[in-house]
Structure 1
Amino acid sequence: MGYACALITVVIWSGFILVSRLGAQGTLSAFDVAALRFGVSGLVMLPYLLRHGTGGLTLLQVAALGVTAGLGYALLAYSGFHFAPAAHAAVFMPGMLPFFTAALAWWLLGERWTRGRLLGLAVVAAGVALLVADELGRGGTTWRGDLLFLSASVSWAVFGVLARRWRVQPLQATAVIGVFCLVTYWPPYLLSGHSNLLEAPLAEVVIQGVYQGLLAVVVALITYTRALQILGPNLTTTITSLTPALAALSAVPLLGEELSALAVLGVMIVTLGVLVSVIRPRSTPTAQVSDED
C-alpha cells in the first residue's frame, strides 16, 4: 500500500507538469488555469475548513500560506509553461525544491546541511548547467520560463518552511490555502473580464479543473501523506525524486516535445542529484531514521 501511494504521487506530480504544459498550448491562460485550480480545490476543501477551522492559525499566517503555496506558486508555475517546455519545469521546480527548502530551513530554522545534501546540490548544479548550455546553444528564450519555474519553487519552499515552523497539518494546509485562494482570487479574476473559460472547449476546462484542483492538490496530498506514514520520509522522498525524470521523458511521446541528448543527460543528472540528497545512511544496521526534511 505504501509503495502504491508513493508511485501514485509520482504519477500525479509528473502529470501536473504535463497537463500544465498542455494547458499552456490551448485556449486557457495561466490565470484561467489558476482560477480552476483555486475554484475546485477551494470548494472541495471548504467543508473540511468549516468543520475543523484554521487549527489556531492567525489570519496573517493563513495569508502567508495562501500567498506562497497558493497564489504565488500557481501563477508563477502556470506562467512559466507558456515559455519553457516540460523538461525544464521538471528540473527547475521539483528538481530544485529540496535545495531551496534546505537553504531556507538553514536560514530560518537553523538546520544544518548534511554532506549528502551538499553532494546532491553539486550534482544538480551540474545537470542544470547542461540544460543551460543546451538552451544557449539553441539561442532560445526559454530562460523566461526557467526563471518563473525557479521562482515558483522558491515560493513553495517558503511555504514548506513556514508550515514546518507553525506545525501545520497537511489537510489543514490544503483547506486554508484552497479557501483563501478561492475568496481572494476569484472576485478580481471575474471583475477583470479576461476570462477564457467560456471560450475554451469544455473538455479542456474539465481536464484542467479536475487535474489541477482535485488530483494535483487534494489526491496527491493524501497519497503522499499516506506513503510517509507507511514507508517513512527517507524511502518516500527517494521514490518521489523520480518525478523530474518521469515528467521530462514522458513529455517526448505525450506532448511531442524534443529533447536533445544534452538535455536528457542534464535531466538524468538532476534526478541523480535529488536522489543523492534525499538518501540518508542508517546510523546502525537496524536503526531507522526518524528526522524529516
Structure 2
Amino acid sequence: MKTIKPYLAALAVVFIWSGWITLSRHGVHSLLQPADITLLRYWTAFLAVSPLILRYPWRRFSMWQYLVVGLGVGFPYTMLSFYGLKVVRAAHAGVLVNGMLPVLGAIAAWLLFRQRIAFHRYAAIGLIFFSNLVMTGGLVFTVDRTAGIILLLIAALCYTFHMTGIRLWHMSWQDVVVIVPMVNVVLFTPMWYFFPSGFSQASLQDMAVQAIYQGVIVNVLALVCVAYAIRHLGTITVSLFMSFVPVTTALLAWIVLGEALQPWEIAGIIGCSAGLLWYSREPKSQALKATQTIKPDRD
C-alpha cells in the first residue's frame, strides 16, 4: 500500500486538473473575470486552512523559497492560464500547459539535481509530448490565439518552478497547503483592485462553484496530492502524469458531454498510453540490480 499511494495521488491530480481546465474555461466566459476567479480561489483556500496557518513555523524556510513555491502555482500561473483560456479551447490548453510539463520537468531535474534517466524514458517523454500535440488536431495561429498560447506556455514554466521547489527544498504537503494560499492572499488581494472585475454582475452560483472547486478541491486537495506524489515519485514522474490531463479531459467530455472523440484525439490517447507504459518499464540493468539486492541468502 505504501508504494501505490503516491501513484493514486498523482492520478487524482490528473482528474482534478481536467475538471479545473473545463471549469476555468467556463468561468472566464461568464461574468466573472480572471482576477475574480483568482481572488476566490486563494481566499477560499486561505479560510479553509486558516487553523494551520496560525500554527505554521514560518521560520522554517526563507522568503524567496516561499515565493517560488507559492507563486509557481499561484496568481501568476492562474492569471496566465485564465487569460489564455479566453482564446484557446480547454483541450488545447491542457495540451499546452500539461503536455509541456514532462519536457520542462526533465530539464529541471537534469539542471538542478543532475538526475539522469534511461534513454528509453527520454524517448517516452518525447512520444507523450508529440501525442499531446497530435491531440490538438492543428492549432490556428491568429494573433489572439498566438498570445494565448504564449501565456499558457509561460504558465507551464511557472508550474515547473513550483514542482521543482517542492522537491529541491523537501517540502511536505503540510508546507505547500499553507504556503500557497498565504502568499497569494497577501500579494494578490491589493493587486485585484487594478484588474477588471465582474463581481457586481456575476451570480452567486457561479461564484460558489468557482470558490469551492478552485479554492478547496484544486488549491487544497490537489496541492496535497501533488506535494505528496513529488516527494515519493520525483518531479519527472509527476510531470508525466500531468501530461495525461488532455487525455482525461477529452475522455470526460466524451463520457459526460457526449462529445465524440476525433480520430487525432484517439491517436493521441493511444500514443500517451504507450508512452506512459514505455516510461514505466525498468531498464534491464536496474531490474537485475534490484533482483540481486532482494535475493535471499542461501548459505
What's the TM-score, normalizing by structure 2? 0.79
The equivalent of 2:263 in structure 1 is 261
Contact 2:95 2:136 in 1 (8 A): no
CA deviations over 1:163-203 (Å, ceiling 9, x no partner): 211111122122112111001101221x3273212211111
Counterparts in 2 of 1:143 and 1:273: CA distance versus 1, 3 Å: farther
The equivalent of 1:197 in structure 2 is 199
Number of residue pairs the alignment of both structures matches = 284
Stretches of structure 1 lacking an aligned partner (at least 5 in a row): 288-293
Distance 1:86 1:98 in 2: 19
Residue from 39, 45, 48 that aligns with 2:52? 48
Counterparts in 2 of 1:261 and 1:25: CA distance versus 1, 3 Å: farther
Q: Does 1:273 align with 2:291?
A: no
Q: Does 1:179 align with 2:178?
A: no
Counterparts in 2 of 1:7 and 1:61: CA distance versus 1, 3 Å: closer
User: What amino acid is the match of 1:209?
Assistant: A
SS at match of 2:66: helix
Instruction: Indicate the larger mover: 255-264 or 92-101.
Output: 255-264
Percent identical: 27
Distance 2:202 2:131 in 1: 37
Larger Rg: 2
Counterparts in 2 of 1:51 and 1:250: CA distance versus 1, 3 Å: same
Deviation at 1:268, TM superposition (A): 4.5
CA deviations over 1:101-138 (Å, ceiling 9, x no partner): 110121122222432331123213432543566224x9
CA deviations over 1:222-270 (Å, ceiling 9, x no partner): 45567789xx639x95876643311123235656878643344345434
Residue from 75, 79, 82 that aligns with 2:79? 75
Residue from 18, 21, 33 that aligns with 1:17? 21
Counterparts in 2 of 1:36 and 1:56: CA distance versus 1, 3 Å: same
Contact 1:124 1:270 in 2 (8 A): yes
Within 5 Å, which residues of 2 pair with 1:92-107? Answer: 92-107=96-111
Contact 2:12 2:222 in 1 (8 A): yes
Distance 1:7 1:118 in 2: 21
Distance 1:100 1:205 in 2: 33
Deviation at 1:272, TM superposition (A): 4.1
Counterparts in 2 of 1:68 and 1:11: CA distance versus 1, 3 Å: closer
Distance 1:283 1:213 in 2: 42
The equivalent of 2:130 in structure 1 is 126
Deviation at 1:283, TM superposition (A): 1.9
What's the TM-score, normalizing by structure 1? 0.81
Deviation at 1:213, TM superposition (A): 0.7
